[in-house]
A and B are shown apart, each in its own frame.
Chain A
Amino acid sequence: MEIIKIIGVGFITLIVTIMLKQYRKEFAFLAILMGGAIILFLSLDTLTGIIDFVRSLNENYNNAFISILLKITGISILTEYAVSICKDSGESSIANKIDFGGKIIVISMSIPVISTALESLTKLLP
């Protein structure tokens, strides 16, 4: 029952954060960071199964875009991790900057995909 563990860690992190917030805010932030990391770790185990399946798809279709897709997924997971923590502690401007950086990286990685799509489009058109 993976979800029970995740919920448990989430609640423990919540309690620790609330407790620390009264005394020192910076320790609350560190507790959130650690709790988030633990939960991500727990969910990464199941995620690796999904990714192996996607990789096996890649074998018989040998499409280059699946590896790009996986990379973008990884980047967005990490970006979302950082953005939600920054928003949580009230610094939405930092969250927006991280979000902006993440989007730029994703767009830069998806350029080959876009160019291939455009080429195939122009071939289709008369």
Chain B
Amino acid sequence: MDVNLLFKIAGIGIIVAVLHQILSKAGREDQAMMTTLAGMIIVLTIVIKEISELFQTVRTVFNL
């Protein structure tokens, strides 16, 4: 739960965007879509882990 997670997300996002551009320019639309989806899933797993940790903390704090 630190700021470098944010930078990790930014990095992956930029890389995926650049890859998408390159692949779509090279005429491989489907592979571009695949890389975007893969990047999306990686970032999603990171974010979901942190969000579940947050919800768990809020639950214990307010004993919901």
List A residues at the B interface (Cβ < 8 Å). Answer: 8-9, 12-13, 16, 19-20, 23-24, 26-28, 30-31, 33-35, 37-38, 40-41, 44, 47-48, 51, 67, 70-71, 73-75, 77-78
Contact = CB atoms under 8 A, between A and B. Distances in A.
Nearest to B59: A74
Contacts of B1: 37-38, 41
Contact of B9 (A27, A44, A70): A27
Interface of B: 1-3, 5-7, 9-10, 12-14, 16-17, 20, 36, 39-40, 43-44, 46-47, 50-51, 54-55, 57-59, 61-64
A12 B42 CA distance: 21
A23 B10 CA distance: 11
A41 B57 contact: yes
Contacts of A41: 1, 54, 57
Q: Summarize A's interface: helix, strand, loop or mixed.
A: helix
A13 B5 CA distance: 11
B47 A48 contact: no
Contacts of B6: 9, 12-13, 16, 31, 34-35, 38
14 contacts: A9-B6, A16-B6, A16-B9, A24-B17, A27-B12, A31-B6, A34-B9, A34-B46, A37-B50, A44-B58, A48-B61, A67-B63, A71-B63, A77-B58
Contact of B61 (A9, A27, A51, A75): A51
Contacts of B36: 24
Contacts of B13: 19-20, 23-24, 27-28, 30-31
Nearest to A19: B10
A108 to B, nearest CB: 13
Contacts of A77: 58
